[in-house]
Structure 1
Amino acid sequence: MILHFCTASDWADAQRAGEYTADSLRTEGFIHCSTAAQVHIPATMLAKGRTDLVLLEIDESRLPEPPRWEPGEGTDLTFPHVYGPIPIHAVLAVHPYPPEPDGSFAPPTGLG
């Protein structure tokens, strides 16, 4: 299981379209994903203080092709990158992802 954070409105758009895409798919060629232990890192870096985020819980086995584990920018961690749209049926659950009081994000509990 891998995770991707996005806005609730982007998820609603994806449900209507039948698949989820992100701007990074167009600009970088892939959708950034994370494990439960690391999703707070890019969420804090890219979306600090946002209150409209959700976490998509994605079953890797339901993707058209497996994610590629590649180095993240500015870290020695590897992250799962999905090279194509994410079919709605690959998303097993959607969880609210509120920030901490200081605007940062914590690792989600009870996932992965």
Structure 2
Amino acid sequence: MRIFHIATSADWAAAQKCGVYTRSTLARSLAEEGFIHAAYSSQWPKVLARHFVGVYEPLVLLEVDTGRLTSVVIEEQPVPGSEMICPHIYGPLNLDAVVSISDVTRPEEYV
């Protein structure tokens, strides 16, 4: 299965230097949040448009092959009572699970 994570280019570059990705979402670490936020293919444009508007630093979309992950993925409601279910990665994202990287710097283009 493929899931997606939006990252800053700087956070992705840092992960490549240290060998593992440990950011949960914009300005929050895996340690702070407890998991890495992810989305399904139909969800990531909405996540980008909702949570990254006004972010002017370069952004990338990481396409993750869950079969290659060394951490567990759990489907959960990001907001209690919501009908939406999102994948959360409980642990670091190993770099070899990322199968594609795309520039998504301008969130307004995906609305």
Q: TM-score, normalised by structure 2?
A: 0.83
- Picking from 37, 40, 49, the partner of 1:35 is 40
Which 4+ residue blocks in structure 1 deviate beyond 2 angstroms?
A: 103-106
Unaligned runs of 5+ in 1: 107-112
Could you tell me which amino acid in structure 2 is paired with residue 55 of structure 1? Answer: L
Give me the identity figure in percent.
Answer: 35
RMSD over aligned CA atoms reads 1.8
Q: TM-score, normalised by structure 1?
A: 0.82
Q: Which residue of 2 aligns with 1:110?
A: none
Q: Which residue of 2 aligns with 1:92?
A: 99
Shift of 1:24: 4.2
- Picking from 22, 27, 30, the partner of 1:25 is 30
What SS is found at the alignment partner of 1:67? strand
Q: Which residue of 1 aligns with 2:53?
A: 48
Structure 1 pair 7–44 and aligned structure 2 pair: CA distance change class (3 A): same
For 1:10 and 1:64, how far apart are their aligned partners in 2?
20
The 8 Å contact of residues 49 and 99 in structure 1, kept in 2 or not, is answered as no
Could you tell me which amino acid in structure 2 is paired with residue 42 of structure 1? Answer: V
For 1:31 and 1:72, how far apart are their aligned partners in 2?
12
Q: Which residue of 1 aligns with 2:83?
A: 76
Deviations 1:17-42 (A, max 9, x none): 11101134112210000011001222
Aligned length: 104
Structure 1 pair 73–24 and aligned structure 2 pair: CA distance change class (3 A): farther
Higher-strand-fraction structure: 2
